[in-house]
């Protein structure tokens, strides 16, 4: 993989309960809605589980994600192709935290900020 090593950690307040946030992050249909215009390809299942693999593409950049860890307050994705690294999500009552680390030509902080803002908007 070519690019720069980057890492970013952001935490925002959101107007939602922990179960509502969890549902937005672990449900493929919900992810597809709030991450639009990214194109996403999921296996047919209701919730993300460990070892689930899916593709995300934004323009010409494709990112493969594999669920490494998931529980009631955490989701960790291993990333490859457009980003080689990982993305961790943590949440609780009224907050979401995202940690993104990897090698990529993409500006990961900008990408991460846009995702968090879209998530917040979907929770309003």
For the cut 90, the answer to whether the pLDDT of residue 1 exceeds it is no
Q: Which domain covers residue 13, as residue numbers?
A: 4-123
3-state SS class at 6: strand
> In this structure, are residues 72 and 22 in contact, taking their beta carbons and an 8 Å threshold?
yes
Positive or negative, the Cα torsion across 12, 17, 23, 26? Answer: positive
The tally of domains found in the chain comes to 1
- What is the pLDDT at residue 14? 96
Encode pLDDT of 90-103 as tens digits: 999 999 999 999 99
Here the tokens at position 66 are 């594999």
The verdict on pTM exceeding 0.95 is no
Q: 83: domain CATH number?
A: 3.30.530.20
Listed in sequence order, the DSSP H helices in 1-124 are 18-26, 28-34, 108-123
Encode pLDDT of 26-81 as tens digits: 999 998 889 887 788 888 788 999 999 999 987 788 999 999 999 999 999 999 99
**Rounded-to-integer distance, Cα 71 and Cα 50, Å:** 9
């Amino acid at each position: 993989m070519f690019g720069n090593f980057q890492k970013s950690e952001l935490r925002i307040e959101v107007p939602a309960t922990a179960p509502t946030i969890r549902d937005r992050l672990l449900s493929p249909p919900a992810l597809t809605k709030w991450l639009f215009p990214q194109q996403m390809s999921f296996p047919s299942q209701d919730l993300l589980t460990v070892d689930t693999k899916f593709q995300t593409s934004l323009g010409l950049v494709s990112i493969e994600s594999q669920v490494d860890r998931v529980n009631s307050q955490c989701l960790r994705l291993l990333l490859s192709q457009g980003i080689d690294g990982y993305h961790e999500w943590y949440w609780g009552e009224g907050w979401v935290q995202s940690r993104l680390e990897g090698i990529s030509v993409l500006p990961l902080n900008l990408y991460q900020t846009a995702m968090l803002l879209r998530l917040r908007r979907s929770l309003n």
